[in-house]
Protein backbone atom coordinates (compact mmCIF):
# COMPACT_ATOMS: atom_id res chain seq x y z
CA UNK A 1 0.00 0.00 0.00
CA UNK A 2 2.86 2.41 0.77
CA UNK A 3 5.66 3.10 -1.70
CA UNK A 4 9.34 3.33 -0.78
CA UNK A 5 9.01 7.10 -1.15
CA UNK A 6 6.03 7.15 1.26
CA UNK A 7 8.12 5.26 3.84
CA UNK A 8 11.11 7.63 3.35
CA UNK A 9 8.76 10.61 3.62
CA UNK A 10 7.29 9.24 6.87
CA UNK A 11 10.74 9.18 8.43
CA UNK A 12 11.71 12.62 7.05
CA UNK A 13 8.38 14.48 7.28
CA UNK A 14 6.64 12.56 10.07
CA UNK A 15 3.59 11.58 8.07
CA UNK A 16 2.17 9.90 4.98
CA UNK A 17 -0.92 11.60 3.49
CA UNK A 18 -4.09 9.60 2.78
CA UNK A 19 -3.62 6.52 0.61
CA UNK A 20 -6.46 4.16 -0.43
CA UNK A 21 -6.64 1.08 1.85
CA UNK A 22 -10.34 0.10 2.03
CA UNK A 23 -12.62 -0.43 -0.96
CA UNK A 24 -15.57 1.95 -1.29
CA UNK A 25 -17.93 -0.84 -0.20
CA UNK A 26 -15.81 -1.65 2.86
CA UNK A 27 -15.60 2.01 3.86
CA UNK A 28 -19.38 2.38 3.44
CA UNK A 29 -20.09 -0.73 5.55
CA UNK A 30 -17.67 0.44 8.27
CA UNK A 31 -19.21 3.90 8.28
CA UNK A 32 -22.73 2.46 8.71
CA UNK A 33 -21.56 0.17 11.52
CA UNK A 34 -19.73 3.05 13.20
CA UNK A 35 -22.81 5.31 13.08
CA UNK A 36 -25.08 2.46 14.29
CA UNK A 37 -22.90 1.68 17.32
CA UNK A 38 -21.14 4.99 18.07
CA UNK A 39 -23.30 7.68 16.44
CA UNK A 40 -24.93 8.30 19.82
CA UNK A 41 -22.35 9.01 22.51
CA UNK A 42 -22.26 6.95 25.71
CA UNK A 43 -21.19 9.83 27.84
CA UNK A 44 -19.75 9.65 31.34
CA UNK A 45 -20.01 13.22 32.68
CA UNK A 46 -16.62 12.79 34.38
CA UNK A 47 -14.90 12.04 31.08
CA UNK A 48 -14.35 14.04 27.95
CA UNK A 49 -14.48 11.14 25.50
CA UNK A 50 -17.67 9.10 25.13
CA UNK A 51 -16.75 5.57 26.22
CA UNK A 52 -18.06 3.91 23.04
CA UNK A 53 -15.75 6.15 20.98
CA UNK A 54 -12.64 5.02 22.85
CA UNK A 55 -11.17 1.57 22.08
CA UNK A 56 -14.34 0.46 20.20
CA UNK A 57 -12.34 -2.55 18.90
CA UNK A 58 -13.00 -4.19 22.29
CA UNK A 59 -16.76 -3.63 22.02
CA UNK A 60 -17.83 -4.07 18.40
CA UNK A 61 -16.98 -6.65 15.74
CA UNK A 62 -16.68 -4.09 12.94
CA UNK A 63 -13.99 -2.16 14.85
CA UNK A 64 -12.20 -5.41 15.83
CA UNK A 65 -12.06 -6.28 12.11
CA UNK A 66 -10.92 -2.80 11.11
CA UNK A 67 -7.93 -2.68 13.50
CA UNK A 68 -6.84 -6.01 11.96
CA UNK A 69 -7.42 -4.96 8.33
CA UNK A 70 -4.57 -6.61 6.38
CA UNK A 71 -3.91 -3.63 4.09
CA UNK A 72 -3.69 -1.22 7.05
CA UNK A 73 -1.39 -3.62 8.92
CA UNK A 74 0.85 -4.03 5.84
CA UNK A 75 1.39 -0.25 5.83
CA UNK A 76 1.90 -0.10 9.60
CA UNK A 77 4.43 -2.94 9.31
CA UNK A 78 6.34 -0.98 6.66
CA UNK A 79 6.60 1.92 9.14
CA UNK A 80 7.20 0.27 12.54
CA UNK A 81 8.13 -3.36 11.87
CA UNK A 82 6.38 -6.76 11.96
CA UNK A 83 5.37 -7.12 15.64
CA UNK A 84 2.42 -4.81 16.14
CA UNK A 85 0.02 -4.03 18.99
CA UNK A 86 -2.97 -1.73 18.98
CA UNK A 87 -2.72 0.38 22.11
CA UNK A 88 -5.52 2.91 21.76
CA UNK A 89 -8.24 4.11 19.39
CA UNK A 90 -10.33 7.27 19.19
CA UNK A 91 -13.31 7.90 16.91
CA UNK A 92 -13.16 11.52 15.80
CA UNK A 93 -16.78 12.27 15.01
CA UNK A 94 -17.55 15.81 13.84
CA UNK A 95 -21.27 16.42 13.36
CA UNK A 96 -22.47 18.57 10.42
CA UNK A 97 -21.92 22.28 11.15
CA UNK A 98 -19.89 21.43 14.24
CA UNK A 99 -17.71 24.08 15.86
CA UNK A 100 -15.56 21.35 17.38
CA UNK A 101 -11.88 21.45 16.55
CA UNK A 102 -8.58 20.00 17.72
CA UNK A 103 -5.70 22.35 18.63
CA UNK A 104 -2.05 21.86 17.62
CA UNK A 105 -0.66 18.94 19.62
CA UNK A 106 1.57 15.87 19.59
CA UNK A 107 -0.08 12.49 20.31
CA UNK A 108 2.94 11.44 22.42
CA UNK A 109 1.94 14.02 25.05
CA UNK A 110 -1.02 11.91 26.14
CA UNK A 111 0.15 8.32 25.97
CA UNK A 112 3.22 7.94 28.20
CA UNK A 113 4.93 5.53 25.79
CA UNK A 114 8.66 4.99 25.28
CA UNK A 115 10.46 5.03 22.93
CA UNK A 116 8.56 7.40 20.61
CA UNK A 117 7.71 4.83 17.93
CA UNK A 118 3.93 4.89 18.06
CA UNK A 119 2.18 5.63 14.73
CA UNK A 120 -1.38 6.86 14.34
CA UNK A 121 -3.24 5.42 11.35
CA UNK A 122 -6.15 7.80 10.65
CA UNK A 123 -8.89 5.98 8.74
CA UNK A 124 -11.39 8.12 6.84
CA UNK A 125 -14.95 6.73 6.90
CA UNK A 126 -16.35 9.87 5.21
CA UNK A 127 -14.70 12.48 3.01
CA UNK A 128 -12.44 14.77 5.03
CA UNK A 129 -11.77 18.13 3.39
CA UNK A 130 -10.64 21.52 4.63
CA UNK A 131 -14.33 22.59 4.82
CA UNK A 132 -15.07 19.50 6.95
CA UNK A 133 -12.18 20.07 9.36
CA UNK A 134 -9.60 17.65 8.00
CA UNK A 135 -6.39 16.94 9.88
CA UNK A 136 -3.63 19.49 9.18
CA UNK A 137 -0.02 18.55 9.90
CA UNK A 138 3.30 20.37 10.23
CA UNK A 139 5.97 18.58 8.15
CA UNK A 140 9.15 17.48 9.96
CA UNK A 141 7.83 18.69 13.33
CA UNK A 142 8.44 15.18 14.76
CA UNK A 143 12.17 15.99 14.69
CA UNK A 144 11.72 18.60 17.44
CA UNK A 145 11.13 15.96 20.13
CA UNK A 146 8.47 16.16 22.85
CA UNK A 147 7.32 19.78 23.22
CA UNK A 148 5.52 21.32 26.25
CA UNK A 149 1.76 21.78 25.98
CA UNK A 150 -0.42 24.38 27.78
CA UNK A 151 -4.13 24.26 28.68
CA UNK A 152 -6.62 26.29 26.69
CA UNK A 153 -10.08 25.90 28.23
CA UNK A 154 -12.68 26.01 25.47
CA UNK A 155 -15.59 23.54 25.25
CA UNK A 156 -15.31 23.39 21.47
CA UNK A 157 -11.81 21.93 21.61
CA UNK A 158 -12.02 18.15 21.40
CA UNK A 159 -9.05 17.61 23.75
CA UNK A 160 -10.05 17.63 27.43
CA UNK A 161 -8.44 20.92 28.45
CA UNK A 162 -7.82 22.20 24.95
CA UNK A 163 -4.18 21.42 25.55
CA UNK A 164 -2.17 23.09 22.85
CA UNK A 165 1.50 22.97 22.06
CA UNK A 166 3.25 25.97 23.62
CA UNK A 167 4.89 27.15 20.42
CA UNK A 168 3.87 29.51 17.62
CA UNK A 169 3.04 27.74 14.39
CA UNK A 170 2.83 29.33 10.98
CA UNK A 171 -0.28 27.76 9.45
CA UNK A 172 1.17 28.44 6.01
CA UNK A 173 3.86 25.80 6.68
CA UNK A 174 1.25 23.09 7.37
CA UNK A 175 -0.35 20.56 5.01
CA UNK A 176 -4.04 19.55 4.87
CA UNK A 177 -4.63 15.81 4.76
CA UNK A 178 -7.58 15.71 2.36
CA UNK A 179 -9.06 12.22 2.34
CA UNK A 180 -11.71 10.13 0.60
CA UNK A 181 -13.63 7.35 2.41
CA UNK A 182 -11.33 4.33 2.74
CA UNK A 183 -8.12 6.41 2.68
CA UNK A 184 -5.70 6.04 5.57
CA UNK A 185 -3.04 8.57 6.57
CA UNK A 186 -0.21 7.89 9.01
CA UNK A 187 1.45 10.29 11.45
CA UNK A 188 4.34 9.92 13.85
CA UNK A 189 3.58 10.31 17.56
CA UNK A 190 5.66 13.52 17.73
CA UNK A 191 4.21 15.12 14.57
CA UNK A 192 2.34 18.35 15.33
CA UNK A 193 -1.20 18.35 13.96
CA UNK A 194 -4.60 19.96 14.45
CA UNK A 195 -8.03 20.11 12.77
CA UNK A 196 -10.66 22.82 12.27
CA UNK A 197 -14.48 22.91 12.58
CA UNK A 198 -16.77 21.02 10.21
CA UNK A 199 -18.55 23.79 8.30
CA UNK A 200 -20.23 21.35 5.87
CA UNK A 201 -23.70 19.76 6.07
CA UNK A 202 -22.25 16.24 6.30
CA UNK A 203 -20.65 14.41 9.23
CA UNK A 204 -16.86 13.99 9.16
CA UNK A 205 -15.82 10.67 10.70
CA UNK A 206 -12.26 9.45 11.10
CA UNK A 207 -10.77 6.89 13.46
CA UNK A 208 -7.29 7.23 14.91
CA UNK A 209 -5.68 3.82 15.48
CA UNK A 210 -2.62 3.94 17.75
CA UNK A 211 -0.22 1.16 16.78
CA UNK A 212 3.05 0.40 18.57
CA UNK A 213 5.87 -2.11 18.05
CA UNK A 214 5.78 -4.71 20.84
CA UNK A 215 9.05 -3.39 22.36
CA UNK A 216 7.38 -0.04 23.19
CA UNK A 217 6.36 0.18 26.84
CA UNK A 218 4.18 2.39 28.99
CA UNK A 219 6.22 4.46 31.47
CA UNK A 220 3.56 4.69 34.22
CA UNK A 221 2.96 2.33 37.11
CA UNK A 222 -0.49 1.13 36.02
CA UNK A 223 -0.29 -2.00 33.92
CA UNK A 224 -2.21 -1.30 30.72
CA UNK A 225 -3.69 -3.63 28.12
CA UNK A 226 -3.19 -3.83 24.36
CA UNK A 227 -4.01 -6.22 21.52
CA UNK A 228 -1.41 -8.00 19.41
CA UNK A 229 -2.66 -7.66 15.83
CA UNK A 230 0.36 -8.99 13.93
CA UNK A 231 3.58 -10.90 14.67
CA UNK A 232 4.75 -12.02 18.11
CA UNK A 233 5.07 -10.32 21.47
CA UNK A 234 8.33 -11.24 23.22
CA UNK A 235 8.14 -8.36 25.70
CA UNK A 236 4.94 -8.72 27.74
CA UNK A 237 4.69 -4.97 28.40
CA UNK A 238 0.86 -5.06 28.26
CA UNK A 239 -1.87 -7.48 29.30
CA UNK A 240 -3.53 -9.07 26.26
CA UNK A 241 -7.10 -8.03 25.46
CA UNK A 242 -9.86 -10.39 24.25
CA UNK A 243 -11.50 -9.72 20.88
CA UNK A 244 -15.27 -9.11 21.27
CA UNK A 245 -17.39 -12.26 20.89
CA UNK A 246 -20.26 -10.16 19.46
CA UNK A 247 -21.45 -6.56 19.58
CA UNK A 248 -21.44 -5.12 23.10
CA UNK A 249 -21.88 -8.52 24.75
CA UNK A 250 -21.52 -8.78 28.50
CA UNK A 251 -17.95 -10.13 28.13
CA UNK A 252 -17.01 -7.39 25.64
CA UNK A 253 -18.41 -4.63 27.87
CA UNK A 254 -16.44 -6.03 30.82
CA UNK A 255 -13.16 -6.26 28.86
CA UNK A 256 -13.62 -2.78 27.40
CA UNK A 257 -14.52 -1.32 30.81
CA UNK A 258 -11.44 -2.88 32.37
CA UNK A 259 -9.13 -1.58 29.63
CA UNK A 260 -10.36 2.01 29.59
CA UNK A 261 -10.50 2.16 33.42
CA UNK A 262 -6.81 1.24 33.51
CA UNK A 263 -6.07 3.81 30.83
CA UNK A 264 -7.87 6.52 32.80
CA UNK A 265 -6.15 5.46 36.03
CA UNK A 266 -2.78 5.73 34.29
CA UNK A 267 -3.76 9.06 32.83
CA UNK A 268 -4.38 10.40 36.30
CA UNK A 269 -0.96 9.30 37.55
CA UNK A 270 1.10 10.79 34.71
CA UNK A 271 0.65 14.56 34.37
CA UNK A 272 0.66 14.50 30.57
CA UNK A 273 -1.72 11.58 30.40
CA UNK A 274 -4.29 13.35 32.53
CA UNK A 275 -5.08 15.05 29.26
CA UNK A 276 -6.51 11.95 27.70
CA UNK A 277 -6.25 11.86 23.98
O1 LIG B 1 -9.60 13.82 13.57
C2 LIG B 1 -9.23 14.89 14.04
O3 LIG B 1 -9.82 15.94 13.77
C4 LIG B 1 -8.05 14.94 14.95
C5 LIG B 1 -7.25 13.68 14.88
C6 LIG B 1 -6.10 13.61 15.81
O7 LIG B 1 -5.76 14.53 16.52
C8 LIG B 1 -5.35 12.35 15.86
O9 LIG B 1 -5.72 11.37 15.18
O10 LIG B 1 -4.35 12.29 16.59
Interval 3-33: pLDDT, tens: 999 999 999 999 999 999 999 999 999 999 9
Q: State the DSSP code for 250.
A: H
Pocket test for ligand 1, best of 14, 54, 135 (most atoms within 8 A of CB): 135
Residue 46 is predicted with a pLDDT of 61
Atom of ligand 1 nearest to the CA of 195: 3
The residue whose CB lies within 8 Å of the most ligand 1 atoms, and thus the one to mutate among 195, 197, 200, is: 195
**Could you give the percent of the chain with pLDDT greater than 90?**
75
Query: For 141, which DSSP code?
Result: G
Residue 273 above 60 pLDDT?
Answer: no
| Distance in angstroms (rounded) separating the CA atoms of residues 234 and 266 | 23
> Does residue 124 have its Cβ closer than 6 Å to ligand 1?
no
How far is the first Cα of the chain from the last one, in angstroms, to the nearest whole number? 27
Question: For residue 275, is pLDDT > 70?
Answer: no
Statement: residue 163 has pLDDT above 90: no
CATH 3.40.30.10 is held by the domain 4-36+46-274: no
Q: Which sequence spans correspond to the domains of the chain?
A: 4-36+46-274
pLDDT bracket for residue 276 (50, 70, 90) = very low
Rounded to the nearest integer, the mean pLDDT of the chain is 91
Q: Quick one: pLDDT band at residue 174, thresholds 50, 70, 90?
A: very high
196 lines ligand 1 (CB under 6 A): no
Is the minimum distance from the CB of 103 to ligand 1 under 6 angstroms?
Answer: no
Q: Could you tell me the distance, in angstroms and rounded to a whole number, from the CA of residue 50 to the centre of ligand 1? A: 15
- DSSP-assigned beta bridge partners for residue 151: none
73-115 per-position pLDDT tens digit: 999 999 999 999 999 999 999 999 999 999 999 998 878 899 9
- pLDDT, average across residues 213-224: 94
CA angle 190, 192, 202 (to 5 degrees): 125
Per-residue pLDDT reduced to its tens digit, 32-65: 999 999 987 777 666 656 688 899 999 999 999 9
> Does the CA dihedral 263-266-272-275 come out positive or negative?
positive
pLDDT of 277 reads 43
Residue 98's nearest CA partner among 170, 196, 187 is: 196
Amino acid sequence: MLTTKDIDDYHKQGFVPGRPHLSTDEAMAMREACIRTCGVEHKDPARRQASNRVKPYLLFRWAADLVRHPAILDSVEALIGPNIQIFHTTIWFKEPKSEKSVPWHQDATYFGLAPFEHVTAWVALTPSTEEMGCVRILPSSHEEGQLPHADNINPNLMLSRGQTVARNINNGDAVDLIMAPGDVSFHHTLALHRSGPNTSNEPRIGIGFSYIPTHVRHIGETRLSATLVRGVDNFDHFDPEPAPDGDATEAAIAAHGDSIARFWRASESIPEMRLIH
